Structure 1
Amino acid sequence: MDDFVAVPSRKKIVPLILGCAGFVGLGLWMTGAFGPPPASDRYWSDLILMIGWSSVVFFGLCGVLWSLRLFDSRERLRIGADGIRSKSWSDQTIPWEEIVDITTWASRGQNVIVLHLRDPAQFPGRGLAAMLADANRSLTGGDISISLTGTDRTFAEAVLALEQFHSRTALVGSANADPDVRYPPIADV
């Protein structure tokens, strides 16, 4: 069986960049960059200004990050017989025997694969993913969250690959695998 590989998709990334640009534009409008800022009897002007600048900073950063991925053809996710490697988390492949459970998490149309590890300290994250790991853990209940947003593959394809490789590993086992660890089917949280 071939490995599942997801790489950045330009046709999925361009709409994300345009959406970010739209929110940056709305934020600039709220700050008064295109004339007087919007007035409201309901909210005080400082709150509108704060929301506007927050929108500019957040969506501007997201737009820059998506723009960098637009020209990147390196793989973002690999699921294979050796385990799972998510480039957004680290360059390490996480072996199947270190994954005690795989669940999914969804919110507002965003589906995420969640890995529960035997010893998360063995697989430290990097960059923004590592900085947000604790918040992510409290939100999803797992150690590593994997999103396929902006890639050429779908969430359903990734789940199918996980079920194929994960159940195969559970049946075949490994010389290093703990015989007491069960590999349950992927469950929804």
Structure 2
Amino acid sequence: MGSALVTLGGAESVVIERSRVKTLLALGGCVLFVVGSVAIWRAESPVIGILGLVTFGVFGAYILHALFRSGPGLVVDDEGFTDQSSAGAVGRVLWADVTELGTWSHQGANVLVVGLRNPEDYVARLSAVSRRYARVNLSMMGTPVTIASTGLKTDYDSLFALMNERLERSRLRLDSNPPRT
């Protein structure tokens, strides 16, 4: 896994950098699909061609935006995690707000799905463009927080294991130190 264990403010954090290679490959794939969509538009079916052009053009724009972001893609610590792995990332998420971790699979690719207690709170703090992306995730996945390992220097299994271990550690800590009323 392409991550580093660092100590920030006395707490251990795992920092996972963005993968420029994987991001460039994804961008190249989008470019190929855009070119293919233009060919379909001209030769066979304008509707399908335009739909492909718009879809892969939007994906390409998001990938291009993610390519030029600075800083790590994901930072995981005892309090939560900060996701900056994609253009639609929500930023800081506290373990106390996480209800579950799951996997969404499509054509051999896995995406980490992070269930939240109050997903609308996370959507509301985003910019207008990111809010639209988050709302699509919310309607499709039930949460605005999804993390793909494709933009990170790690594989999916390592990502899931890290996030699951930190969530369980957080739950154990909360169970042993219940809030005072």
> Above 0.5 in TM-score?
yes
SS in 1 for 2:93: coil
* 2:20 matched residue in structure 1: 10
Distance 1:113 1:170 in 2: 19
1:23 is aligned to 2:33: yes
- CA shift digits 1:150-173 (9 cap, x unpaired): 221221121111122112112222
Paired residues of 1:97 and 1:174 also in contact (CA < 8 A) = no
Q: From the two aligned structures, give the one with the greater helix fraction.
A: 2
* Greater relative CO (CA pairs within 8 A, separation 6+): 1
CA apart distance, 1:49: 0.6
Q: From the two aligned structures, give the one with the greater strand fraction.
A: 2
Which of residues 40, 44, 61 is equivalent to 1:64? 61
CA apart distance, 1:83: 0.4
Q: Which amino acid aligns with 1:105?
A: W
Distance 2:69 2:135 in 1: 28
* 2:106 matched residue in structure 1: 107
When the two chains are superposed, the root-mean-square deviation of aligned CA atoms in Å is: 2.7
Q: Which amino acid aligns with 2:24?
A: V
SS in 2 for 1:173: helix
- CA shift digits 1:54-112 (9 cap, x unpaired): 22222223223323333434222222111022233323x22211212222221222212
Distance 1:62 1:135 in 2: 13
Relative to the length of structure 2, the TM-score reads 0.75
Paired residues of 1:97 and 1:177 also in contact (CA < 8 A) = no
- CA shift digits 1:133-185 (9 cap, x unpaired): 44433433445222222221221121111122112112222798669xxxxxx
User: Percent of counterpart pairs with the same letter?
Assistant: 24
SS in 1 for 2:150: coil
* 1:162 matched residue in structure 2: 163
Relative to the length of structure 1, the TM-score reads 0.72
Moved over 6 A (4+): none
Paired residues of 1:4 and 1:158 also in contact (CA < 8 A) = no
- The total of aligned residue pairs comes to 165
- 1:1-189 matches, within 5 Å, as 2-32=12-42, 37-38=43-44, 48-87=45-84, 88-91=88-91, 93-124=92-123, 126=126, 127-173=128-174
Paired residues of 2:75 and 2:83 also in contact (CA < 8 A) = yes
Paired residues of 2:101 and 2:164 also in contact (CA < 8 A) = no
